[in-house]
Amino acid sequence: MEVLLFLIPVALGLGALGLVGFLWSLKSGQYDDLEGARWRILDDDDVARPDGEASR
Amino acid sequence: MTVHMRDWDAFVTPAADGAVHMDLAVEGITCAACMGEIERGLTQLPGVLRARVNLTSHRLAVEWDAAQTPADLIVETLDRMGYRAHPFDPAAQRAREDRTGRELMRAIGVAGFASMNIMLMSVSVWSGNVTDITDETRDLFHWVSAMIALPAVAYAIRPFLRSAIAAIRGRRMNMDVPICIGVSLAVGLSVIQTLQSQHHAYFESATMLLFFLLVGRYLDHNMRGRTRSLAENLAALKAEVAARIAPDGSVREVPLSRIEPGDRVLVTAGERIPVDGVIDQGSSEIDQSLITGETALVAAGPGTRVYAGTLNAGGVLEVRVSTASGATLLDEVNRLLEAAGQAKSRYVVLADRAAAMYSPVVHAAALLTFLGWTLAGLGWQPSLIIGISVLIITCPCALGLAIPAVQVVASGLMFRAGVLIHSGDAIERLAAADTIVFDKTGTLTLARPELLEPYAAGDADLALAGRLALSSRHPLALALARATDATHPLPGVIETTGAGVEALHEGQLVRLGSPAFCGAPEHRVADVLSRHGDASLLALRIGEGPARLIPMRQSLRPDAGPVIRDLAARGYRIEILSGDRPGAVEAAAAALGIRDWRAGMTPADKIARLDALKAEGANVLMVGDGLNDAPALAGAQVSMSPVTAVHLSQAAADAVFMGDALAPVADALKIARRARAAMMQNLWISVVYNLIAVPIAVAGFVTPLVAAAAMSGSSLIVTANALRLRMGSGKPHEPR
């Protein structure tokens, strides 16, 4: 059972990582516009076009 | 007014790195493509550092280097792309960040983290208790749980604790008091159990409870926030700005918050007067219908007092801004508003009424359980544990969600029906209404006038009048031009302020304006007015021929008739209280089949009538838009105003409805009644749940596993019941 002494901190650490991630995303304003966020992912303006032309 | 005249410095706030920040409400954002287009278009401008559209609130935040790009270039660029943008007045806009929402989100995150990790421990303990867990391992798990739960609860309970303390200070009872007692006792008892190496602890119940309740609280907060941000957008779209005349004679548009008493403000024809003041120069006719409900235009010249919200129909005015002198209509309205607003705060929301009944019963039950087991000889400590477990299992988890969940679903339905609700408890008060009092002007009728006799396509004279009307900003002229579909203005039109317009057409002098301006005989004017008491008259004279009278009036909202009949059929008592002339009110009442109407009412008269109705035991819904309605809107049990209403009235009303139709009022009442039914069902579900759970707890059988299952089960049931509202009968109309 000594393995628990090792596993519990690991489990808690992973959980805390998730919490820190959530608080960071909240602080950086990622929940301010839930409506827009689901569309922004489809927008690939930030990707350079391979042929260097402005439009398809 | 063109954007060049605007004083942009008043609208921007400083941002990081010497840049400036501006928030704009943007009209015409419909989809994600607009979002990308606006952001791309703006970031191509030199000096623009950041442009971000918020698709939820239809707002745009821009940050740019003021040295490289002027602000009007940004608005012009948007305009070219087809979006009308209106800057927010930084003083009027609430804080850019939603602090309460973020605090609740952080608390949700912390409570969620804690409850999940503690559950990890608890499940191990539960399964270990029935197999072969050693005492040392269980103690270790309980101690780790305590180390997580104590700081997490201390952090996440704060929103409830603040509200509970405020309630106790005010000698009231609300749901947060039993929540705080229940959670604190659950944690406290668990720590003692852990110290004594007992088999059970309730840490997971306490944190899970907080998690569910915080979700309910956040939903509630989000609903209000959404309404508030849209209401702020509407205020910005209505351009709450004024054209201030600087001492050097130049004119700049500034936000209303920058206007001070003694400033001079320019008001062009066809514009709403933005401030209260006295006319310094110029003469015109004023449409005061938003203020008094009176539809007839009033002549105004130097020295006349004018009020914010009235429409300048004729000439250009220079208005000197005045402070409240204590004797004007606005002052009276403000006085009445203060007195009337207190009536509403006396209403106790359903959740708090439930809490007031619930807490004494539950706390008494817990005390009796403790005393009962002690008398039965169990010893004080085990008896106390059983007593506290009664409190834990009855802790109002379902009760805390029962009402917010319904409010969120109902306000979403109302939003789709074109109604913005200012507060959650307005839904309860709407459901209780049995009497509806309407204002006439702007509420039952639309704000713009229409031709009394419909325009016939072959009517050449009227078509000519329409073309002449194109050159005037007078509201009646605008309406005539719209009614006749005129597109080609006549050349060489001369306008006489407060009288009418004239022009030479095919060698003949054509005049359009007041009956006197066109030389119409008075007996004919009196004759038309006696037949149509609510009409406003325009006159047309071609050459030396006889003057032709064109009666116009504000038409009823397109669906007013069916909606009023439907409301009456559903048992609502309907009345009209108007500040307009008796003839006009009678005509509208007759057209709608409303028997009870009163005309010429002052704001105080309206309040008196509402008080009389209340004394008869009626629950009044007041629907109105004018400044003269504002006290009545605040004084009625519940109130609604159209989106065209003056700012003060919108602020006083519980809900705002959009569009030209009156149907949202009826829809809101329907949704509110169904929502109230769902709230009552949810409260009964909680009662039934307690009837089952409390005997188990009193008998001493509540293990943490039972508590956790019971709590989440009841929360899910009430949430599901609230969502059922969405599927219910009759989908509301789409807005517009």
**Residues near B480 by beta carbon (within 8 Å), at least 6 away in sequence:** B451, B465, B466, B469, B512, B538, B550, B552
**Mean of pLDDT over chain B:** 81
Range B706-721 burial, b when 16+ CB lie within 10 A, else e: bbbebbbebbebbbeb
| Mean pLDDT, residues B315-328 | 71
Of all residues in chain B, the one with the smallest CA distance to A26 is B102
- From the list B40, B56, B106, which residue is nearest A45 (CB)? B40
The strand ranges marked E within B433-558 are: 435-438, 445-451, 494-496, 500-505, 508-513, 536-542, 548-556
Q: Give the separation between CA B178 and CA B159, rounded to whole angstroms.
A: 14
| Mean pLDDT, residues B16-22 | 81
The reported pLDDT for the residue numbered B733 is 44
* Region at B303 (left for phi over 0; alpha for psi -120 to 50; beta for the rest): left
User: Which among B59, B150, B156 has a CA at the least distance from the CA of B110?
Assistant: B156
3-state secondary structure B567-615: HHHCCCEEEEECCCCHHHHHHHHHHHCCCEEECCCCHHHHHHHHHHHHH
Q: What is the Cα gyration radius of chain B? A: 32
pLDDT tens-digit map of B371-425: 999 998 888 778 887 887 887 777 666 677 788 788 888 888 888 888 888 777 8
User: Which among B218, B233, B169 has a CA at the least distance from the CA of B23?
Assistant: B233
- From the list A16, A26, A39, which residue is nearest B102 (CB)? A26
pLDDT tens-digit map of B326-362: 555 666 666 666 666 555 555 667 777 777 788 788 8
Contact A36 B56 (CB under 8 A): yes
Report residue B538 as tokens.
């325009």
pTM, to two decimals: 0.74
Report residue A35 as tokens.
């409506």
Share of chain A above pLDDT 70, in %: 75
Pairing of strands B508-513, B536-542: antiparallel
Higher pLDDT, B352 or B445: B445
Q: Where is average pLDDT lowest: B230-239, B586-595, B597-606, B727-736?
A: B727-736
Higher pLDDT, B607 or B339: B607
Contact B105 A31 (CB under 8 A): yes
Of all residues in chain B, the one with the smallest CA distance to A35 is B56
Mark out the alpha helices in B293-438 (DSSP H runs): 329-345, 350-375, 380-394, 397-416, 425-432
- CA–CA min distance B219, chain A (Å): 14
B-facing residues of A in 4-23 (CB < 8 A) are 4, 8, 11-12, 15-16, 18-19, 22-23
Q: Is B274 helix (H, G, I), strand (E, B) or coil?
A: coil
Dihedral sign from CA coordinates of B179, B184, B190, B196: negative
Cα separation of the two ends of chain B: 28
- CA–CA min distance A14, chain B (Å): 10
Of all residues in chain A, the one with the smallest CA distance to B55 is A36
Q: Give the separation between CA B77 and CA B96, rounded to whole angstroms.
A: 24
Of all residues in chain B, the one with the smallest CA distance to A9 is B144
Contact A42 B35 (CB under 8 A): no
Q: Give the separation between CA B582 and CA B444, rounded to whole angstroms.
A: 15
Q: Which of A3, A32, A41 has the highest number of chain B CBs within 10 A, making it the mutation to test binding with B?
A: A32
Chain B residues with CB under 8 Å of a chain A CB are 31-32, 35-36, 40, 53-57, 98, 102, 105-106, 109-110, 113, 116-117, 120, 134, 137, 140, 144, 148
HSE (CB half, 13 Å, CA atoms) of B516?
Answer: 3
The reported pLDDT for the residue numbered A18 is 93
Say yes or no to pLDDT of A56 above 60.
no
- CA–CA min distance B55, chain A (Å): 5
Contact A34 B32 (CB under 8 A): no
Helix (H) or strand (E) holding B278: strand B277-281
Report residue B501 as tokens.
């317009």
Number of CB atoms found within 10 A of residue A51's CB: 7
Dihedral sign from CA coordinates of B671, A36, B211, B224: negative
**Residues near B662 by beta carbon (within 8 Å), at least 6 away in sequence:** B444, B557, B559, B560, B563, B564
The reported pLDDT for the residue numbered A54 is 44
Whether B723 and B401 have beta carbons less than 8 Å apart is answered as no
- CA–CA min distance B734, chain A (Å): 20
Share of chain B above pLDDT 70, in %: 90
User: Which among B619, B623, B632 has a CA at the least distance from the CA of B594?
Assistant: B623
Of all residues in chain B, the one with the smallest CA distance to A17 is B113
Q: Where is average pLDDT lowest: A17-31, B83-97, B581-595?
A: B83-97
Whether B656 and B642 have beta carbons less than 8 Å apart is answered as yes
Contacts of B32 in chain A (CB under 8 A): 36, 39-40, 42-43
Whether B638 and B654 have beta carbons less than 8 Å apart is answered as yes
Backbone angles phi, psi at B43, to 5 degrees: -70, -15
- CA–CA min distance A53, chain B (Å): 16
Of all residues in chain B, the one with the smallest CA distance to A15 is B113
Higher pLDDT, B305 or B736: B305
Q: Is B496 helix (H, G, I), strand (E, B) or coil?
A: strand
By CB atoms closer than 10 A (0-12, 13-18, 19+), residue B219 is buried
- CA–CA min distance B108, chain A (Å): 10
The reported pLDDT for the residue numbered B148 is 93
Instruction: State whether residue A46 sits within 8 Å of chain B by CB.
Output: no
Helix (H) or strand (E) holding B242: strand B241-245
Contacts of B120 in chain A (CB under 8 A): 11
- From the list B55, B109, B120, which residue is nearest A35 (CB)? B55
The reported pLDDT for the residue numbered B338 is 67
Question: In the 8-state DSSP scheme, what is residue B735?
Answer: P
- From the list B56, B106, B109, which residue is nearest A35 (CB)? B56
Contacts of A11 in chain B (CB under 8 A): 117, 120
- CA–CA min distance A56, chain B (Å): 16
The residue written with tokens 């702007």 in the block is B442
Catalytic residue (choose from B439, B625, B629, B654): B439
The reported pLDDT for the residue numbered B93 is 57
Contacts of B106 in chain A (CB under 8 A): 23, 26
The reported pLDDT for the residue numbered B557 is 85
Structural domains present in chain B = 9-88 (3.30.70.100), 96-232+340-395+701-708 (no CATH), 260-324 (2.70.150.10), 447-555 (3.40.1110.10)
The residue written with tokens 């005492």 in the block is B135
3-state secondary structure B625-665: CCHHHHHHHHHCCEEEEECCCCHHHHHHCCEEECCCCCHHH
pLDDT tens-digit map of B200-239: 888 988 898 888 888 878 877 777 777 667 767 766 666 5
The reported pLDDT for the residue numbered A50 is 60
Say yes or no to pLDDT of B2 above 50.
no
Q: Where are the domains of chain A?
A: 1-42
Report residue B319 as tokens.
């208005």
Using pLDDT thresholds of 50, 70 and 90, give the confidence band for residue B111.
Answer: very high
Backbone angles phi, psi at B222, to 5 degrees: -65, -40
Whether B463 and B705 have beta carbons less than 8 Å apart is answered as no
With both helix axes pointing from N to C terminus, report the angle between B704-727 and B99-130 in degrees, rounded to the nearest 10. Answer: 130
**Residues near B125 by beta carbon (within 8 Å), at least 6 away in sequence:** B133, B138, B141, B142, B201
Contact B148 A12 (CB under 8 A): yes
The reported pLDDT for the residue numbered B301 is 84
Q: Quote the ipTM score.
A: 0.81
Amino acid (one-letter) located at B229: S
Number of CB atoms found within 10 A of residue B358's CB: 21
Contact A39 B55 (CB under 8 A): yes
Using pLDDT thresholds of 50, 70 and 90, give the confidence band for residue B143.
Answer: very high
Q: Which of B235-244, B330-339, B592-601, B647-656 is most confident?
A: B592-601
Amino acid (one-letter) located at B11: F
Of all residues in chain B, the one with the smallest CA distance to A24 is B106
Contact A19 B109 (CB under 8 A): yes
- CA–CA min distance A37, chain B (Å): 8
Amino acid (one-letter) located at B452: L
Cα separation of the two ends of chain A: 62
| Mean pLDDT, residues B658-681 | 89
Q: Which of A20, A41, A43, A55 has the highest number of chain B CBs within 10 A, making it the mutation to test binding with B?
A: A43
Establish, for the pair of chains A and B, how many residue pairs have beta carbons separated by less than 8 Å. 55
Using pLDDT thresholds of 50, 70 and 90, give the confidence band for residue B293.
Answer: low
Asked about B439 being catalytic, the answer comes back as: yes
Q: In what side-by-side order are the strands of the sheet with B508-513? A: B445-451, B548-556, B536-542, B508-513, B500-505, B494-496
Q: Give the separation between CA A41 and CA B304, rounded to whole angstroms.
A: 58
Contact A15 B109 (CB under 8 A): no
Say yes or no to pLDDT of B735 above 70.
no
